[in-house]
Amino acid sequence: MGMYRLGDMIRMTRKSLSITQEQLCDGICSIETLSRIETGRQSPSRDTYELLMERMGRIRERAYSMLSVSDFKVLEKMKLFEDYIKLYDYHRAETVLNKIKKTLGNTVLDRQFILRAESIINYRLNRITVDKFLEGLQNAICLTIPEYGTISLSCWPLNINETRLLINISTAYAEKKEYDKGIYILEEVNNAMEQSYMDEQQRVDLQVIIINNLSKWYGLTGNYEKAIRISKDGVAICKKYKLGNVLPILLYNITWNMEQLIHKGVLPAVYKKECLKYLRQAYYIASAMQQPFTEQFIEKHVNTIYNNSFETFEIQ
Amino acid sequence: MISQAIEIENNKIGAAIQYFRETYQVSQSRLCKGLCSIATLSRIESGERDADSLLLETLLERLGKTPNQFELILTDSDYEAYQKREEIKHLIENKNLEEAGKLLAAYEKTAPSKGNVHKQFIVRSKALLNELQGGEVEVTLDLLMEAIAYTVPGFKTNKIREYYLSNSELNILIDIIERMILMGDNSRAKELIGQILDYLDKHNSMEKNNRLYPKVAILACKLYMQDKEYEKALDLCNKGLNSTKGSRKLDFLGDLYLMKAQTTEALQKQKKERKPQECTKLFLQAFYVFTFCDENEIAENIKKYLQEEYQWECIDWVI
């Protein structure tokens, strides 16, 4: 359950921007008041709270509502939308989106959601180019982070929608084969996650997705060692929080990058044994997680690369 | 000391409760039974009244919602109470019994401890403490019964399907079943488990309930296996696995696959048709989940079993 005190939110946002209490409260309230608010000894009036948050570049609507959207009634539909996106079912997602649009308000957060959703659907259904896709997403992020592109996000207290948006933006760069830009954004987001006031479970769920993308793109740009390192970080998170959904692919990423290193002669061929161990783990965990697609994908990989079948193969 | 910001936030929560209650066609009286009066619920729904977060959480959970979506911003006193509860839970989890006991006693003296949800929290914590301190099972069970009765007043006489239950309420019922089994009272345990499975089936559209399903299925499955009712046990394993489809977590999967392997094996023996491949794969699925979750003892046992019974030598892992 996400629970925050107003004071914490002000303090965290202020620290993330590295500004002093003095700079923040000038003309709004006294330093003593701000200090009492930050430590929770005094609740701010709504005006004070809004003015403080606005000075730190946070948008008004967001300031007094931590709800992800103004209208909770569409929350469930939004979840359904995200589920269809995850399943690559863009037509159904669009139907849901149209229903959402009918009931949604016109706050900044609502517009941000719609802009992101439309961009994703139009791009995935081949109605717009990747550049237009990227443009739409960037416009959406600027709605709540007007300085996007000119400031570092590494210490920015991102919320879940902003994080999702940034992941989308990085993916758009990757589709343009501009992996370095995608990596740059995700590294920043990954740093920001450490201090976000998101619910811990939500945070780690997003973190493993970020790490999976990072490891893929580091691999594709030839940074095999880095890709392996970061995948292992992801596996460690999976272990700590018992997450299984991204785990098989992370294990596969480790193998793929090790295979490249073996191929290049950086690693001796005996490491193939280790690769097979990883793959075996990935295979059984994918099947335990009831991910038949991943299960078959890994089995096929073993069959073609190692000329071996899973049920019977022995380590050579 | 409540700022306007908080009022607005809680207004929304009230409206959300009303909306979901009406969507699921739950009457006010059924929703708030044992938690608060209908008048209080009305005032919460219309936003006239700030309720404490534990009550809001319980109301939302009874509607199958994760309060997470609502990210409550708390008043300071409410936040303090929330932090104390979290700390007590944490201390009990880490078996820091003396500290937990002290903090619990202090919590009992504070203002928020008046409502039923708070009393329930206190008595359940006492039950867990009693158990960890080596107290008798009967006492633990009595305390748990007392805890559930706070918010499910007719628990002993009514069926639980008469109620809408929150996650913490369902968890107390699961605690109760576990203690019944400890006392060897399998028939009562089975009866109550049946009721809970029935409840979860009935409310399976509420996403929160799906996460409890595997936990209950595992408990029920163990009971059926003890009584050699393998068909029923297998059916529960499958239902349990089905409920974890699309989930992100590895929790429960090890147990579910292990029990599915064992029941499948037992049924094959009964019917005298051995399909070693099917069993091996199930055992391996269990093995790899347990290994990754660092449950080494049980993983080691599976490995030995696979070597001895199925001459399966091909088990290795890295991480």
Within 8 A of A314 by CB-CB distance, chain B residues are 314
Q: Which domain holds residue A227?
A: 223-316
B38/chain A closest Cα distance in angstroms: 23
pLDDT at A4: 56
Residue A314 or A32, more confident = A32
- Does B263 lie in the same domain as B241? no
B-chain residue closest to A255, CA distance: B318
Kindly state whether residue B96 falls inside one of the protein's structural domains: no
CA dist B77 → A33, A201, B112, B118 (Å): 19, 25, 9, 15
- Does B232 lie in the same domain as B144? yes
- Does B201 lie in the same domain as B137? yes
Within 8 A of A249 by CB-CB distance, chain B residues are none
pLDDT at B7: 39
Task: Give the whole-number percent of chain A exceeding pLDDT 90.
Answer: 53
- Does B258 lie in the same domain as B224? no
Task: Tell me which DSSP letter residue B285 carries.
Answer: H
Q: Among the three residues B245, B270, B304, which one is the final residue of a domain in this structure?
A: B245
Asked whether A156 and A192 are in contact (CB, 8 A), the reply is: yes
Name the average pLDDT for chain A.
Answer: 84
| Pairwise CB contact (< 8 Å): A3 & B288 | no
Asked if the model's pLDDT at residue A310 lies above 70, the reply is no
pLDDT at B2: 34
Partner residue facing A43 (CB), from B1, B9, B244: B1
Distance CA A92, CA A124 (A): 12
Q: Among the three residues A147, A163, A198, which one is the final residue of a domain in this structure?
A: A198
- Is this model's pTM higher than 0.95 or not? no
- Does A148 lie in the same domain as A236? no
Identify the H or E element spanning A267: none
pLDDT at B6: 38
- Does B173 lie in the same domain as B59? no
pLDDT at A72: 58
| Pairwise CB contact (< 8 Å): B289 & A1 | no
Range of lowest pLDDT (A102-116, B82-96, B233-247, B253-267): A102-116
Q: Tell me, what's the ipTM?
A: 0.78
Rounded to 10 degrees, the C-alpha dihedral A191/A197/A198/A203 comes to: 30
- Does B230 lie in the same domain as B148? yes
Kindly state whether residue B288 falls inside one of the protein's structural domains: yes
- Does A139 lie in the same domain as A105? yes
Task: Read off the pLDDT of each residue in B95-107 and give the average, rounded to a whole number.
Answer: 93
Count of domains for chain B: 3
pLDDT at B76: 58
Asked whether A215 and B221 are in contact (CB, 8 A), the reply is: no
pLDDT (tens digit per residue) in B283-309: 999 999 999 999 999 999 999 999 999
Asked if the model's pLDDT at residue A316 lies above 70, the reply is no
Q: Which CATH number characterizes residue A133's domain? A: 1.25.40.10
Residue B281 or B153, more confident = B281
pLDDT-based confidence at residue A69 (cuts at 50, 70, 90): very low
- Number of other residues whose CB lies within 10 A of the CB of residue A153: 22
- Does A172 lie in the same domain as A144? yes
- Going through chain B in order, the beta strands assigned E by DSSP cover 72-73
Task: Give the whole-number percent of chain B exceeding pLDDT 90.
Answer: 53
pLDDT at A2: 45
pLDDT-based confidence at residue A18 (cuts at 50, 70, 90): confident
pLDDT-based confidence at residue A47 (cuts at 50, 70, 90): low
Token look-up 């957060």 returns: A109
Asked if the model's pLDDT at residue B269 lies above 80, the reply is yes
Partner residue facing B76 (CB), from A40, A245, A251: A40
| Pairwise CB contact (< 8 Å): B79 & A5 | yes
Kindly state whether residue B98 falls inside one of the protein's structural domains: no
Distance CA B33, CA A112 (A): 40
Residue B319 or A271, more confident = A271
A123/chain B closest Cα distance in angstroms: 26
pLDDT-based confidence at residue B208 (cuts at 50, 70, 90): low
Asked whether B120 and B151 are in contact (CB, 8 A), the reply is: yes
- Does B254 lie in the same domain as B227? no
pLDDT (tens digit per residue) in A109-153: 778 889 999 999 999 999 999 999 999 999 999 988 888 988 888
Q: Which domain holds residue B13?
A: 4-73
| Pairwise CB contact (< 8 Å): B249 & A242 | yes
- Does B263 lie in the same domain as B228? no
Kindly state whether residue B106 falls inside one of the protein's structural domains: no
Kindly state whether residue A274 falls inside one of the protein's structural domains: yes
- Does A89 lie in the same domain as A50? no
Q: Which CATH number characterizes residue A51's domain? A: 1.10.260.40
pLDDT at A28: 80
| Pairwise CB contact (< 8 Å): A1 & B72 | yes
- Does A237 lie in the same domain as A175? no
Distance CA B22, CA B14 (A): 12
Residue A128 or A75, more confident = A128
- Does B285 lie in the same domain as B234? no
Kindly state whether residue A264 falls inside one of the protein's structural domains: yes
Kindly state whether residue A203 falls inside one of the protein's structural domains: no
- Does B254 lie in the same domain as B241? no
pLDDT (tens digit per residue) in B49-82: 667 778 888 888 888 776 654 455 555 567 678 7
pLDDT at A214: 97
| Pairwise CB contact (< 8 Å): B71 & A289 | no
Helix %, strand %, coil % for chain A, to 5? Answer: 70, 0, 30
- Does B280 lie in the same domain as B191? no
pLDDT at B210: 65
Kindly state whether residue B97 falls inside one of the protein's structural domains: no
Range of lowest pLDDT (A150-154, B93-97, B196-200): A150-154
| Pairwise CB contact (< 8 Å): B3 & A6 | yes
Buried/exposed code over A202-241 (b: 16+ C-beta within 10 A; e: otherwise):
bbbbbbbbbbbbbbbbbbbeebbebbbebbbbbbebbeeb
pLDDT at B311: 87
* Nearest in space to B167 (alpha carbons), one of B119, B206, B114: B206
Q: Among the three residues A49, A64, A79, which one is the final residue of a domain in this structure?
A: A64
Kindly state whether residue A215 falls inside one of the protein's structural domains: no
Burial class of residue A293 in the structure, from the number of CB atoms within 10 Å of its CB (0-12 exposed, 13-18 middle, 19+ buried)? exposed
pLDDT (tens digit per residue) in A180-192: 999 999 999 998 8
Rounded to 10 degrees, the C-alpha dihedral A56/A62/A65/A70 comes to: 170
Name the average pLDDT for chain B.
Answer: 86
Please give the full DSSP string across B200-268, using - where no structure is assigned.
Answer: HHHTTTSHHHHHHHHHHHHHHHHHHHHTT-HHHHHHHHHHHHHHHTT--B-TTHHHHHHHHHHHHHHHH
Asked if the model's pLDDT at residue B1 lies above 70, the reply is no
pLDDT at B86: 85
Task: Read off the pLDDT of each residue in B170-178 and give the average, rounded to a whole number.
Answer: 94
Task: Read off the pLDDT of each residue in B250-279 and give the average, rounded to a whole number.
Answer: 94
Residue A82 or A261, more confident = A261
Count of domains for chain A: 3
- Does B241 lie in the same domain as B276? no
Q: Among the three residues B245, B270, B290, which one is the final residue of a domain in this structure?
A: B245
pLDDT-based confidence at residue B4 (cuts at 50, 70, 90): very low
Q: Among the three residues B245, B279, B302, which one is the final residue of a domain in this structure?
A: B245
CA dist B205 → A159, B63, B164 (Å): 28, 10, 13
Range of lowest pLDDT (A65-79, B144-158, B209-223): A65-79
- Does A83 lie in the same domain as A172? yes
pLDDT at A313: 43
